[in-house]
Amino acid sequence: MIVDKIKKRDNKSIIKKDNKVDIPEGKWIKCEHCKEIIYKEVLKANNGICPTCGHYFRMNCKSRIEIIADEGSFKKFNINIDTVNPLKMQDYKEKLEKFREKTNMDEAVQCGTCKINGIETVLCVMDSNFFMGSMGSVVGEKITYSIEKAINLKLPIIIFSCSGGARMQEGIISLMQMAKVTEALTKLDKAGNLYISVLTDPTYGGVTASFANLGDIILAEPKAMIGFAGQRVIEQTIGEKLPDGFQTAEFMLEHGFIDKIVERNLMKETLYDLLRLNGYKKV
């Protein structure tokens, strides 16, 4: 169990910052919250949660799918599409290629079907490592396609949001993806399929103002930053500092905009319970 892993952690794998130990590139990572240096393998085994302070590191798509889907059950939808670069932005395509090399993903979301303790579902996972998880025409199309697939396959859909918002490089076309995905969700709603939206750090802008907020059930990871407007924009507009805890998952829960905050280590079981209690069964 994961909890055991935390307890049994090898203390030697954590080195205090002030010990001035040479950190081999790539093997170690610093927790920005408690400043401890953590061995990456230990962090991975602990689902990206700092073993010292409990800080949640952002999770890439692959790791997320690993902790949510039953082993080997994730089957990616076959949608090989690329943006046509509608604004003809210089270096946009090159930037995309760089993110592809860095993340080994084709775009900021991965979509497919999987099983959660035997219950089949559509799963979409966004990844902030790819262009800040921003939504352009490809992300919008992939999520829309996934919603339509859920309707056709009579499956529930779970979307893990993790995004800075709409992708600027595609301008108005990106903005319109919010409308497109929302339209698709009305069909899902009518068809009666369950949609669980999971908000992870960060969920902002056009994603917050569309599908992330339209789940039948909305979950969030602890301390995830969730909001519509960015904090810098708000501070500049109102000319004052923002209160502590503003736009956190806990803030969202307090103000009534999410159903439940779920610890990362309990997410799979919680999703399983929610699917079960909504009448979905193992296949």
Partner 1 sequence: MPTKKENNKNASIKDRKCNNKNGITAWERVEIARNSNRKTALDYIKIIFDEFIELHGDRLFKDDKATVCGLARIGNQNFTVIAQQKGRNTKENIERNFGMPNPESYRKAIRLMKQAEKFNRPIVTFVDTKGAYPGIGAEERGQGEAIARSMFEMAKLTVPIIVVVIGEGSSGGALAITIGNKIIMLENAIYSILSPEGYASIVWKDSSRAKEAAEVMKLTAKDLYDFKIVDKIIKEDKEFEDVALKIKSEIKKELKELQKLSSKELVEQRYDKFRNIGEYETYSKKV
Q: Report the interface residues with Zn ion, using CB under 5 A.
A: 31, 33-34, 50, 52-53, 55
Q: Are 142 and 82 in contact (CB under 8 A)?
A: no
Q: Residue 150 interacts with partner 1 (CB under 8 A)?
A: no
SS3 196: strand
Residue selected from 47, 113, 200, 213 as contacting partner 1 according to rule CB under 8 A? 213
Q: Residue 211 interacts with partner 1 (CB under 8 A)?
A: yes
> Which residue stretch of 1-9, 20-28, 50-58, 172-180 sits at the interface with partner 1 (rule: CB under 8 A)?
172-180
Distance CA 204, CA 227 (A): 5
Q: Residue 183 interacts with partner 1 (CB under 8 A)?
A: yes
Which run of H or of E encompasses 165?
none
- According to CB under 8 A, which residues from 80 to 139 bind partner 1? 80-84, 86-89, 100, 104-106, 137-138
End-to-end, the C-alpha distance of the chain in Å comes to 25
Return the one option of partner 1, Zn ion, none that residue 55 interacts with (CB less than 5 to 8 A, by type): Zn ion
SS3 123: strand
Q: Residue 11 interacts with partner 1 (CB under 8 A)?
A: no
Q: Are 208 and 165 in contact (CB under 8 A)?
A: yes
Tokens found for residue 125: 């996972």
Q: Residue 227 interacts with partner 1 (CB under 8 A)?
A: yes
The residue count for binding partner 1 (CB under 8 A) is 62
Q: Which lies closer to Zn ion via its Cβ, residue 50 or residue 119?
A: 50
> Which residue stretch of 12-20, 53-61, 67-75, 233-241 sits at the interface with partner 1 (rule: CB under 8 A)?
233-241
Determine if the peptide bond prior to 202 is cis (ω within 30°): yes
Q: Residue 237 interacts with partner 1 (CB under 8 A)?
A: yes
Q: Residue 78 interacts with partner 1 (CB under 8 A)?
A: no
Residue selected from 39, 47, 206, 217 as contacting partner 1 according to rule CB under 8 A? 206
- Three-state SS annotation for 222-239: CCCEECCCCHHHHHHHHC
Beta-carbon-side half-sphere exposure of residue 69 (alpha carbons within 13 Å): 28
Q: Which lies closer to partner 1 via its Cβ, residue 51 or residue 206?
A: 206
Distance CA 101, CA 107 (A): 11
Q: At a CB cut-off of 8 Å and minimum separation 6, what does 75 contact?
A: 112, 113, 114
Q: Where do contacts with partner 1 occur on this chain (CB under 8 A)?
A: 80-84, 86-89, 100, 104-106, 137-138, 140-141, 144, 166, 168-169, 171-180, 182-187, 205-206, 208-214, 227-230, 233-234, 237-238, 242-243, 246-247, 251, 255-257
